Structure 1
Amino acid sequence: MILIYTHKVTPRVRYIFKHIFTRILQVEIDFTGKVEEFVAYNGPKFSYTNVALGKEFFVKSNDLLFQQGIKDVEVHMQEWDGIPCFFSTVEASEIPFDIFAASFYLVSRYEEYLPHIKDQHGRFSAAQSIAYQHGFLEKPLVDIWAYKFLEVLKFKFPDFEHKTRSYQYISTIDVDNAFAYKHKSFVRTLGGFLKDVSQLKIFTIWDRFAVLFNLKKDPFDTFQKAIELKKTYKVRTIFFFLIGDYTTFDTNVSASKAKFKLLIKDMVDYARVGLHPSYYTMNDVSLLKKEKERLEAITNMPIHRSRQHYLRVSLPETYQQLIDLEITEDYSMGYASHVGFRASTCTPFYFYDLDFEIQTPLKIFPFALMDTTLNDYMKLTPKQSLGKIRDLKNEVKRVNGTFITLFHNESLSNYLRWRGWNRVYNSMLKIVREEQ
């Protein structure tokens, strides 16, 4: 155990120390505000305060963890042995920056509470983040800092023993369109056919007919393939089903269709299932509640996992709504336009609500990449995409973190814009399981 002296144990202090020591480093810690207790303790210890008590291991504290509410925070980047960092400290400090305040700034998503311009879908964009602006978006910086800090601690306390966590992988699959052509309403089917005719899409017209008359399998029906790969590579897999009513942005099969309900029930038998709240649920808790109850009625079990459609998250409101509806796991923490680590960590963490200054029961599982980011935004070929996947996996593996990917059932289809991608998911599972 490590004993930490600090002049005030605030909720922010307790939260970020627990994330770094307990979750990332698997190290037990305790706090004290009594100097005499700290001095008398013979085990590994350090002080986190304004001025060192004596010649002990000392980290100079920034004011951020002792404040309340949101203030305009100045971030000036520097380096720690070639690693980007900020919130510099005094010379007496064992490390040149306040790792705890900087980690809290990134993990709490402090910058998303500050004034910013939202993108066309009302989201905080990657380009406005300090991670993107300073070139560390593709690194789990908080985890890297934590392991480097552990090295410094072990140099000071050579006899210190600790456990090491193991690298993990989670595959998540969003089901925005369970089927390309089947089980759609007559109006939607006719509209799709007329659109194909007007655009002279001969092959698509044939495919549509062939699928509707059972001459071919629906191209987006890749669920059996996903389950077989799950079994082959023994990966934890979660399917997130969009079951909202039809809108411009929500175009899945109607949740009232028997075949769609049967598909969801089937997936429950083989994998974990979560809710994919529709586009307009970001600011509409009644709509979110309706969709959660709809999915629970189909699965006959409580739904605790969720990922926002279009990754539409507005902090803290969206997460507060999920908490109110007893969702305990959210998988929306990532960007649509860029791969990498939105919260600069590859360790699942609890959402800290800066409005109420509390750690909430909502656990955030940050994903590192999405298929549509690689294909549509970055315009990478399947081969280039696998190279990027390998790079990100290696970053996570170096810190024994949790590597989470986001694919869609459509991208396993090798159909239309996913032509050439039929083996990417399979190859990715090989990559993520290497040396595991």
Structure 2
Amino acid sequence: MLLVYTHKITPRLRYVFKHICTRLLGIEVSFTTTIEEFIAHDSLKMSYTKQQLGNEVFVKSHEILFEQGLSDIEINVHDWENTKCFFYNGDKSSIPFDIFAASFYLLSRYEEYLPHVNDEFGRFSATESIAYKHGFLHQPVVDIWAYKFKEKLQVQYPKFEFTKRVYSIKPIIDVPSAYNFKLKGILRTFGGTVKDLAEFKLKQLYYRYMVIFGFQHDPFDTFKYIINKQKQTKYKFLFFFLIGAYSTYDKGINPNKKKFVSLIKQVADYCKVGLKASYFAIHDPVVLKKEKLRMEAIINTDLTASRNSFSKLNLPETYRNLIELEIQEDYTMGYVNEIGFRAGTCSPFLFYDLDYEVQTPLKFWSYHLMDYCLLKTHSLLDKKKVLYQIMNEVKQVDGEFVPVFHNYTFSDSDRWKGFKELFNMILDSANEN
């Protein structure tokens, strides 16, 4: 067990030390404000305060973990060996930055509570983040910093055996609409027909009716292929089905359609199924509860995971609504248009409510790549290179890679050509271990 001496034990301090020490490094941690207890401890120990006590591992503390509420914190990012960090704390500290304060700033999403410019959907943009502005969005810095801290502990305690993490994957399959043409109803089919004619999309019009009359396979119906892929790996895919009402933003399948319900049940036999909360459910807890109960009735078990439509978050309201409904996991956090680590980590972490100053039971899996981001690169070779780079960053710290693909990504559309191969790369990356 690691004993941490500090001048004040706060909820923030407990939260970030338990994440870094226990969840990332596998070390149990406890805290003391009593010097005598600290001196008597005969195993791993460190001090986290303003002055070093003796020759122990010492990290000079920044004020953020001892504060309450939000303040205008000055952030100066510096190069640090193979990465970057902030909250520089001088040469006397065992490590030159307060990685615990910096990790808390990123994990709590402190910057998203501060004034910023949202995009057209009201989302926090990658370009507004400190990670994007200072060029470390592509690295899971919290995990990198934790491993640097581990190195210092190993030098001080060479006989101590640390537990080893193993690289893993958690593929997300986002399903905003299970079918492109099927089960759309008379009105929507008529509207699609008129639109195809108006835009002279005669080929699409032809395919629309070939699918409707059963002569062609619906291009979005790739579920058999994905389930076959699931059978080839031990890592569970996580499907998020949209079952909310049709709206300006959400154009899914009516959840009252028996064939759609049957599809969700079939997928749930092989993969984990969560709720893709509709755009209006994000703002209205009554709608969210209705969708949760509807999904639970379909999968015949408690709903544990959710993900928001358009990857839209309203901090902290979105997460408080999930906690109220006893949803345990969220997979919304990430950037639609940028590859990287929104919270600076490739490990799951708990939601810390900055308004109430409390750690909650809601766990996040921040996704690191959405399929759309790979469309920015033109050749398949370039896409592979980008994918390899981000997976390699996760492998360096034995983290968990979380990509988001859509059901239509596996269609034969020219736009998504080569994406099956990219998905295979992800599955193979885990098998290499």
TM-score, normalising length: structure 1 = 0.97
Give the secondary-structure state (helix, strand or coil) at the position aligned to 1:22: helix
Match of 2:7 in 1: 7
Give the secondary-structure state (helix, strand or coil) at the position aligned to 1:146: helix
Give the secondary-structure state (helix, strand or coil) at the position aligned to 1:194: helix
Q: Which runs of 5+ in 2 are unaligned?
A: none
Q: 2:409 aligns with which of 411, 418, 428?
A: 411
Please say if 1:302 is aligned against 2:302. Answer: yes
Q: Is the 8 A contact 2:245 2:254 kept in 1?
A: yes
Q: Is the 8 A contact 1:414 1:420 kept in 2?
A: no
| Alpha-carbon offset, residue 422 of structure 1 | 4.3
Q: 2:394 aligns with which of 393, 396, 412?
A: 396
Match of 1:433 in 2: 430
Please say if 1:226 is aligned against 2:205. Answer: no
Q: Which amino acid aligns with 2:117?
A: I
Q: Which amino acid aligns with 1:140?
A: P
Match of 1:312 in 2: 312
Q: Matches of 2:173 and 2:51 in 1, distance apart?
A: 50
Match of 1:91 in 2: 91
Give the secondary-structure state (helix, strand or coil) at the position aligned to 1:246: coil
Q: Is the 8 A contact 1:386 1:428 kept in 2?
A: no
Match of 1:174 in 2: 174
Q: Matches of 1:427 and 1:435 in 2, distance apart?
A: 10
Match of 1:278 in 2: 278
| Alpha-carbon offset, residue 164 of structure 1 | 1.0
> Deviations along 1:402-436, whole A, 9 cap, x unmatched?
11110000100122633453433234322x22422
Task: Check 1:219–1:350 CA distance in 2 against 1; reply closer, same or farther (3 A cut).
Answer: same
> Deviations along 1:183-212, whole A, 9 cap, x unmatched?
101010011111111111122111111101
Aligned runs of 1:144-163 on 2, under 5 Å?
Answer: 144-163=144-163
Q: Is the 8 A contact 2:169 2:401 kept in 1?
A: yes
Give the secondary-structure state (helix, strand or coil) at the position aligned to 1:155: helix
Q: Is the 8 A contact 2:83 2:136 kept in 1?
A: no
Q: Is the 8 A contact 2:21 2:28 kept in 1?
A: yes
Percent identical pairs in the alignment equals 49
Q: Is the 8 A contact 2:308 2:332 kept in 1?
A: yes
Tell me how large the CA RMSD over aligned residues is: 1.3
Which segment drifts farther, 161-170 or 216-225? 161-170
Match of 1:74 in 2: 74
Task: Check 1:78–1:175 CA distance in 2 against 1; reply closer, same or farther (3 A cut).
Answer: same
Aligned runs of 1:98-137 on 2, under 5 Å?
Answer: 98-137=98-137
Give the secondary-structure state (helix, strand or coil) at the position aligned to 2:87: coil
Q: Is the 8 A contact 1:13 1:65 kept in 2?
A: yes
Match of 2:16 in 1: 16
> Deviations along 1:248-272, whole A, 9 cap, x unmatched?
2101111111111110111111110
Q: Matches of 1:57 and 1:425 in 2, distance apart?
A: 43
Give the secondary-structure state (helix, strand or coil) at the position aligned to 1:203: helix
Q: Is the 8 A contact 2:57 2:152 kept in 1?
A: no
Match of 2:43 in 1: 43
Please say if 1:289 is aligned against 2:305. Answer: no
Q: Matches of 1:23 and 1:389 in 2, distance apart?
A: 26
Q: Matches of 1:77 and 1:299 in 2, distance apart?
A: 47
Q: Is the 8 A contact 1:282 1:318 kept in 2?
A: yes
Q: Matches of 1:346 and 1:65 in 2, distance apart?
A: 22
Q: Matches of 1:398 and 1:30 in 2, distance apart?
A: 28
Q: Is the 8 A contact 1:347 1:365 kept in 2?
A: yes
| Alpha-carbon offset, residue 29 of structure 1 | 1.6
Q: Is the 8 A contact 1:396 1:402 kept in 2?
A: yes
Q: Matches of 1:426 and 1:283 in 2, distance apart?
A: 36
Give the secondary-structure state (helix, strand or coil) at the position aligned to 2:52: coil
Give the secondary-structure state (helix, strand or coil) at the position aligned to 2:171: strand
Please say if 1:424 is aligned against 2:432. Answer: no
Q: Matches of 1:426 and 1:79 in 2, distance apart?
A: 35
Q: Which amino acid aligns with 1:357?
A: E
Q: Matches of 2:104 and 2:389 in 1, distance apart?
A: 26
Q: Which amino acid aligns with 1:45?
A: K
Q: Matches of 2:185 and 2:377 in 1, distance apart?
A: 33
Q: Matches of 1:48 and 1:422 in 2, distance apart?
A: 48
Q: Matches of 1:52 and 1:428 in 2, distance apart?
A: 45
Q: Is the 8 A contact 1:414 1:422 kept in 2?
A: no
Q: Matches of 2:234 and 2:255 in 1, distance apart?
A: 30
Give the secondary-structure state (helix, strand or coil) at the position aligned to 2:231: helix
Q: Matches of 2:129 and 2:174 in 1, distance apart?
A: 25
Give the secondary-structure state (helix, strand or coil) at the position aligned to 1:179: coil
Give the secondary-structure state (helix, strand or coil) at the position aligned to 1:152: helix
| Alpha-carbon offset, residue 301 of structure 1 | 1.4
Give the secondary-structure state (helix, strand or coil) at the position aligned to 2:273: strand
> Deviations along 1:377-413, whole A, 9 cap, x unmatched?
x244443222211111111111111111100001001
Q: Is the 8 A contact 1:169 1:403 kept in 2?
A: yes
Task: Check 1:290–1:355 CA distance in 2 against 1; reply closer, same or farther (3 A cut).
Answer: same
Give the secondary-structure state (helix, strand or coil) at the position aligned to 1:423: helix
Q: Is the 8 A contact 1:414 1:421 kept in 2?
A: no
Q: Matches of 1:10 and 1:65 in 2, distance apart?
A: 7
Q: Matches of 1:138 and 1:331 in 2, distance apart?
A: 19
Which segment drifts farther, 412-421 or 36-45? 412-421
| Alpha-carbon offset, residue 95 of structure 1 | 1.0
Match of 2:56 in 1: 56
Aligned length: 433
Q: Matches of 2:35 and 2:423 in 1, distance apart?
A: 55
Q: Matches of 1:229 and 1:321 in 2, distance apart?
A: 34
> Deviations along 1:83-105, whole A, 9 cap, x unmatched?
21110113221111101000000
Q: Matches of 1:181 and 1:159 in 2, distance apart?
A: 63
Match of 1:350 in 2: 350
TM-score, normalising length: structure 2 = 0.97
Give the secondary-structure state (helix, strand or coil) at the position aligned to 2:402: strand
Please say if 1:383 is aligned against 2:415. Answer: no
